[in-house]
Amino acid sequence: MNAHGLPGTAGTDGPLITDGIPGTNGPLLTDRLPGTDGRAGVGQELAGRLALVTGAGRGIGEAVVAALVERGARVLATDLDPGGIDALAAKYGDSGETGTKGRAEQEKYGDQVTVRSLDVTDAAAVEALIAEAEDTLGPLDIAVNVAGILRCSDVVDLTDEDWAAVFAVNTTGVFHVSRSAARRMADRGRGSIVTVASNAAGIPRAGMSAYAASKAAAVMFTKCLGLEVGSRGVRCNTVCPGSTRTEMQRAMWAAAGLPDEEGARRVIEGDPATHRTGIPLGRIADPADVADAVAFLVSDRARHITLHDLYVDGGATLRA
């Protein structure tokens, strides 16, 4: 990567000129990203890097894989759900497990994606897969924790089993993956870890105590890790989505007896009865909105950002 510096500084290809800022008489100048066509955030800015993405089979995880490969990264895409594994294999090609050959994007990205099954609650399995990946694919540069589950219940009705299951995936799973990745990244003096949490980590949600608590724990864990490994060149950040058009969100609407569009309308408007604010931007996020935030944080454009929560919720939490 070229050195980041002032426009015209030696070692850069010159500034990227974008629309001027209203009220100024000059353009906004930023560093040009090598391998791009002049548009920040696109091109091959992650070329040559290896990324691990958990929960990659559907929704936000699937979108993260797409965002990273579009930017040139090679991706080890993992999921536990057989349906998610099959979907990834069909999209990108031979998984090495199912033998399924892909169609849609195999020709363009098939050689960039390796698909594997992974249970993030199994520490030994996580360690074994990352060790195998480093032996066969190369050094791990990026780890993105997306795997997560949701169990909704008022606290007085919440079972021990549901509480434990949510924390096992959403918090302990993040610990397992991040620990194995950070050990190797810190030894090499470089790397980026991103945990996809939730805006529920930052604002109370009725009926979501286990989920919110598990995500809040994952956020603080990621920050603590970042504090420990920052001096060794590893950045650790979190992305906190709000309501996003995923199967998890649709399942919540279905459980309430709401069709998708009615569920979306109610979320956007807010619900005073449950003390829930609406969404100031007036729309439900798409998975790609979250994936683009992840792609930014793992790139060199975010090279001086660590221990940061990036909320992608349309302003829903009002950053309370």
- Catalytic (active-site) positions: 211
> Residue 36 in contact with residue 43, Cβ under 8 Å?
yes
Angstrom CA distances, 232 to 52, 183, 236, stand at 20, 10, 12
Q: How far apart are the C-alpha atoms of 231 and 90, rounded to whole Å?
A: 41
> Residue 176 in contact with residue 228, Cβ under 8 Å?
no
Residue 255 CB-density burial (10 A; 0-12 exposed, 13-18 middle, 19+ buried) = exposed
Which uninterrupted H or E stretch holds 195? strand 191-196
Per-residue tokens: 3: 């050195």
Q: Find the angle CA(90)-CA(124)-CA(165) to the nearest 5 degrees.
A: 75
